[in-house]
Amino acid sequence: MASEYEGRQDYVRDIELPGIETVRNMYPDRDYTVEVEYPEFTTLCPKTGLPDFATVRISYVPDERIAELKSLKHYFIAYRDLGFFHENFTNRILDDFVRAVDPKEAHIEVRVNVRGGILTTVRRSYRRKGV
């Protein structure tokens, strides 16, 4: 049975977003963890058009590159006027982050503020094969 949401998220993998810039990691021979938290993430509910507010946490073990934070902030801000379901923007953010930074491993946790009495947390992990 098709839901009223059918087709509302078909574009999420193809939408153009600002690139995440990187800088050279001066210590690629060491495994260490970088944690980034963005507590001001906003996007729109694709059904109601109302804003959803969330905290995005990314934890990663860099290899040759590290994320440049100003470009990451601009990347997050680009979601402000787009309609995404929580699960979809969480997966999209991690996909884009991994593609840009190419870390040894990365984890994302998105905690969406309470809406309609429901608090949503979405987590996903990535580990490069062979690491």
Contacts of 99 (CB under 8 A, 6+ apart): none
Q: CATH fold of 31-127, please?
A: GTP Cyclohydrolase I, domain 2 (3.30.1130)
pLDDT score recorded for residue 90: 97
pLDDT score recorded for residue 47: 82
The Cα 81–Cα 24 span in angstroms is 32
Q: Could you tell me which residue, 86 or 116, shows the higher pLDDT?
A: 86
Among candidate residues 14, 29, 45, 63, the one labeled active-site is 45
Does the pLDDT of residue 40 top 80, yes or no? yes
pLDDT score recorded for residue 117: 87
| Residue 45 annotated in active site | yes
The Cα 120–Cα 131 span in angstroms is 31
- Model confidence at 3, pLDDT cuts 50, 70, 90, reads low
- The model's pLDDT over 80-109, given as tens digits with 9 standing for 90+, comes to 999 888 999 999 999 999 999 999 999 999
Find where tokens 């905690």 sit: 111
For the chain, domain boundaries: 31-127
Among candidate residues 10, 14, 29, 52, the one labeled active-site is 52
